[in-house]
Amino acid sequence: MSELAARAEKLDAGDELAGVRGKFVLDTVSDHAADAAGVYLDGNSLGALPAAVPGRVEDVVRRQWGELRIRSWDESGWWTAPERIGDRIAPLVGAAAGQIVVGDSTSVNVFKALVGAVRLSGPGRDEIVVDATTFPTDGYIAESAARLTGCTLRPVTPAEVPGVLGGRTAAVLLNHVDYRTGRLHDLPSLTAAVHAAGAVAVWDLCHSAGALPVGLDEHGVDLAVGCTYKYLNGGPGAPAYLYVRREVQDRFDSPLPGWNSHAEPFGMRAAYEPAAGALRGRVGTPDILSMLALEAALDVWDGVSIEAVRAKSLALTDFFLECVAAYAPAGRVESVTPEAHAERGSQVALRCDDAGDVMKELIARGVVGDFRHPDVLRFGFTPLYVGFGDVERAARVLGETLRVRAGNG
Amino acid sequence: MSELAARAEKLDAGDELAGVRGKFVLDTVSDHAADAAGVYLDGNSLGALPAAVPGRVEDVVRRQWGELRIRSWDESGWWTAPERIGDRIAPLVGAAAGQIVVGDSTSVNVFKALVGAVRLSGPGRDEIVVDATTFPTDGYIAESAARLTGCTLRPVTPAEVPGVLGGRTAAVLLNHVDYRTGRLHDLPSLTAAVHAAGAVAVWDLCHSAGALPVGLDEHGVDLAVGCTYKYLNGGPGAPAYLYVRREVQDRFDSPLPGWNSHAEPFGMRAAYEPAAGALRGRVGTPDILSMLALEAALDVWDGVSIEAVRAKSLALTDFFLECVAAYAPAGRVESVTPEAHAERGSQVALRCDDAGDVMKELIARGVVGDFRHPDVLRFGFTPLYVGFGDVERAARVLGETLRVRAGNG
Best mutation target among B40, B131, B285 (most A Cβ atoms within 10 Å) is B285
| Amino acid making up residue A96 | A
Q: Is B312 a catalytic residue?
A: no
B290: contact with A, CB 8 A cutoff: yes
B317-356 residues touching A, CB cutoff 8 A:
none
B193-222 residues touching A, CB cutoff 8 A:
none
B137: contact with A, CB 8 A cutoff: yes
The rounded percent of chain B whose pLDDT value lies above 70 is: 97
Q: Cβ(A99)–Cβ(A243) under 8 Å? A: yes
Local structure of A292: helix, strand or coil = helix
Q: What is the pLDDT of residue B194?
A: 98
Active-site residue, selected from the candidate residues B15, B42, B204, B370: B204
CB contact (8 A) between residue A49 and residue B65: yes
What's the CA gap between A98 and A108, in Å, rounded? 20
Which residue would you say has higher pLDDT here, B199 or A372? Answer: B199
Q: What is the pLDDT of residue A1?
A: 79
Domain made up of A3-52+305-405: CATH architecture: Alpha-Beta Complex (3.90)
pLDDT band at A407 (very low <50, low <70, confident <90, very high): confident
Secondary structure, 3-state, chain B: CCHHHHHHHHHHHCCCCHHHHHHEECCCHHHCCHHHCCEECCCCCCCCEECCHHHHHHHHHHHHHHHHHHHHHHHCCCCCHHHHHHHHHHHHHCCCCCCEEECCCHHHHHHHHHHHHHHHCCCCCCEEEEECCCCHHHHHHHHHHHHHHCCEEEEECHHHHHHHCCCCEEEEEEECECCCCCEECCHHHHHHHHHHCCCEEEEECCCCCCCCCCCCCCCCCCEEEECCCCCCCCCCCCCCEEEECHHHHCCCCCCCCCHHHECCHHHCCCCCCECCHHHHHCCCCCCHHHHHHHHHHHHHHCCCCHHHHHHHHHHHHHHHHHHHHHHCCCCCCEECCCCCHHHECCEEEEECCCHHHHHHHHHHCCEECEEECCCEEEEECCCCCCCHHHHHHHHHHHHHHHHHHCCCC
CB neighbour list of residue A229: distance below 8 Å, 6 or more residues apart: A46, A47, A235, A236, A237, A238, B285
Residue B406 scores a pLDDT above 90: no
Q: Is B219 annotated as a binding residue?
A: no
pLDDT band at A26 (very low <50, low <70, confident <90, very high): very high
Q: What is the pLDDT of residue A384?
A: 98
Lowest mean pLDDT among A23-32, A145-154, A195-204, B364-373: A23-32
Best mutation target among A58, A62, A70, A111 (most B Cβ atoms within 10 Å) is A70
**A54 vs B contacts (CB less than 8 Å):** 58, 61-62, 66
Q: Tell me the nearest-neighbour CA distance from B50 into chain A, angstroms.
A: 8
pLDDT band at B373 (very low <50, low <70, confident <90, very high): confident
For the stretch A60-99, pLDDT in tens is 999 999 999 999 999 999 999 999 999 999 999 999 999 9
DSSP state of A230: S
Q: How many CA atoms within 13 Å lie on the side-chain side of A328?
A: 21
pLDDT band at B30 (very low <50, low <70, confident <90, very high): very low
∠ at Cα B138 (A106, B222), nearest 5°? 90
B79: contact with A, CB 8 A cutoff: no
- Residues tagged in the binding site annotation of A for pyridoxal 5'-phosphate: 106-107, 135-138, 204, 207, 229, 259, 285
- Tell me the average pLDDT across A334-352: 97
What's the CA gap between A395 and A391, in Å, rounded? 6
**Closest partner CB to A283 (pick from B65, B108, B235):** B108
A111: contact with B, CB 8 A cutoff: yes
Report which secondary-structure segment, H or E, holds A367: strand A367-368
CB contact (8 A) between residue B144 and residue A255: yes
Q: Tell me the nearest-neighbour CA distance from B84 into chain A, angstroms.
A: 16
Lowest mean pLDDT among A32-36, A52-56, B117-121, B184-188: A32-36
Best mutation target among A137, A181, A269, A360 (most B Cβ atoms within 10 Å) is A137
Mean pLDDT, chain A, integer: 95
- Tell me the average pLDDT across A9-33: 85
* Helices and strands, counts by H and E, chain A: 13, 15
Residue A409 scores a pLDDT above 70: no
Q: Tell me the nearest-neighbour CA distance from B304 into chain A, angstroms.
A: 22
DSSP state of A31: G
Positive/negative CA dihedral, A257, A263, A265, A267: negative
- Tell me the average pLDDT across A281-302: 97
B30-69 residues touching A, CB cutoff 8 A:
40, 42, 45-46, 48-49, 53-54, 57-58, 61-62, 64-67, 69
**A136 vs B contacts (CB less than 8 Å):** 259, 262, 268-270, 272
- Tell me the average pLDDT across A204-226: 98
Q: Is B106 annotated as a binding residue?
A: yes
CB contact (8 A) between residue B135 and residue A259: yes
Q: What is the pLDDT of residue B37?
A: 62
Q: Is B10 a catalytic residue?
A: no
Residue A401 scores a pLDDT above 90: yes
Q: Is B230 a catalytic residue?
A: yes
Residue B104 scores a pLDDT above 50: yes
Q: Cβ(A130)–Cβ(A138) under 8 Å? A: yes
What's the CA gap between A117 and A112, in Å, rounded? 8
The backbone torsions φ and ψ at residue B102, rounded to the nearest 5 degrees and listed phi first, read: -100, 145
DSSP state of A328: S
For the stretch A248-290, pLDDT in tens is 999 999 999 999 999 999 888 889 999 999 999 999 999 999 9
Q: Tell me the nearest-neighbour CA distance from B379 into chain A, angstroms.
A: 13
- Tell me the average pLDDT across A187-206: 98
Q: What is the pLDDT of residue B369?
A: 96
Instruction: Write the CATH number of the domain with boundaries B3-51+304-405.
Output: 3.90.1150.10
What's the CA gap between A397 and A393, in Å, rounded? 6
Residue B103 scores a pLDDT above 60: yes
- Tell me the average pLDDT across B303-326: 98
CB contact (8 A) between residue A66 and residue B25: yes
Residues forming beta bridges with residue B9, ordered by sequence position: none
Instruction: Write the CATH number of the domain with boundaries B79-301.
Output: 3.40.640.10
**Closest partner CB to A61 (pick from B49, B135, B137):** B49
- Tell me the average pLDDT across A320-341: 97
Residue A36 scores a pLDDT above 80: no
What's the CA gap between A216 and B281, in Å, rounded? 32
Q: What is the pLDDT of residue B36?
A: 46
Q: Find the closest chain A residue to B238 by CA distance.
A: A287
Residue B269 scores a pLDDT above 90: no
Q: Is B138 annotated as a binding residue?
A: yes
Q: Cβ(B206)–Cβ(B212) under 8 Å? A: no
pLDDT band at B263 (very low <50, low <70, confident <90, very high): very high
Q: Is B207 annotated as a binding residue?
A: yes
**Closest partner CB to A258 (pick from B73, B137, B372):** B137
**Closest partner CB to B61 (pick from A27, A57, A240):** A57
Q: Cβ(B188)–Cβ(B215) under 8 Å? A: yes
**B260 vs A contacts (CB less than 8 Å):** 107, 137
Q: Find the closest chain A residue to B156 by CA distance.
A: A270
- Tell me the average pLDDT across B291-303: 98
**Closest partner CB to A45 (pick from B70, B104, B137):** B70
CB neighbour list of residue A369: distance below 8 Å, 6 or more residues apart: A41, A42, A359, A362, A363, A377, A378, A379, A380, A394
Q: Tell me the nearest-neighbour CA distance from A118 into chain B, angstroms.
A: 12
**A72 vs B contacts (CB less than 8 Å):** 236
Q: What is the pLDDT of residue A373?
A: 86
Q: Is B378 a catalytic residue?
A: yes
- Tell me the average pLDDT across A292-309: 98
Decide the pairing of beta strands B152-156 and B200-204.
unpaired
Count, residues in chain B: 409
Lowest mean pLDDT among A26-35, A157-166, A264-273, B337-346: A26-35
The backbone torsions φ and ψ at residue B405, rounded to the nearest 5 degrees and listed phi first, read: -65, -30
A246-285 residues touching B, CB cutoff 8 A:
254-260, 262, 266-270, 272, 283-285
- Tell me the average pLDDT across A22-26: 96
Mean pLDDT, chain B, integer: 95
What's the CA gap between A163 and A115, in Å, rounded? 23
DSSP letters, A125-156, are --EEEEETTS-HHHHHHHHHHHHHHTPEEEEE
Report which secondary-structure segment, H or E, holds A326: helix A306-327
Secondary structure, 3-state, A240-285: CEEEECHHHHCCCCCCCCCHHHECCHHHCCCCCCECCHHHHHCCCC
CB contact (8 A) between residue B235 and residue A61: yes
Residue A31 scores a pLDDT above 50: no
Active-site residue, selected from the candidate residues B378, B381, B388, B390: B378
Neighbours of A338 (CB within 10 A): 15
Local structure of A237: helix, strand or coil = coil
Residues forming beta bridges with residue A242, ordered by sequence position: A101, A225
Active-site positions of A? 135, 204, 229-230, 378
Neighbours of A19 (CB within 10 A): 10
What's the CA gap between B106 and B98, in Å, rounded? 19
Q: What is the pLDDT of residue A30?
A: 45
Q: Angle between the B288-297 and B81-89 helix axes, to the nearest 10 degrees?
A: 30
Residue B35 scores a pLDDT above 80: no
A112-131 residues touching B, CB cutoff 8 A:
115
For the stretch B123-136, pLDDT in tens is 999 999 999 887 88
- Tell me the average pLDDT across A353-365: 95
Residue B210 scores a pLDDT above 90: yes
The rounded percent of chain B whose pLDDT value lies above 90 is: 92
Count, residues in chain A: 409
What's the CA gap between A385 and A46, in Å, rounded? 13
Residue A200 scores a pLDDT above 70: yes
Residue B409 scores a pLDDT above 80: no
CB contact (8 A) between residue A46 and residue B25: no
Q: Tell me the nearest-neighbour CA distance from B276 into chain A, angstroms.
A: 17
Residues forming beta bridges with residue A203, ordered by sequence position: A174, A224
Residue B34 scores a pLDDT above 60: no
For the stretch A150-191, pLDDT in tens is 999 999 999 999 999 999 999 999 999 999 999 999 999 999
Domain extents for chain B?
3-51+304-405, 79-301
Q: What is the pLDDT of residue A353?
A: 94
**A to B CB pairs, distance under 8 Å:** 254
Residue B285 scores a pLDDT above 50: yes
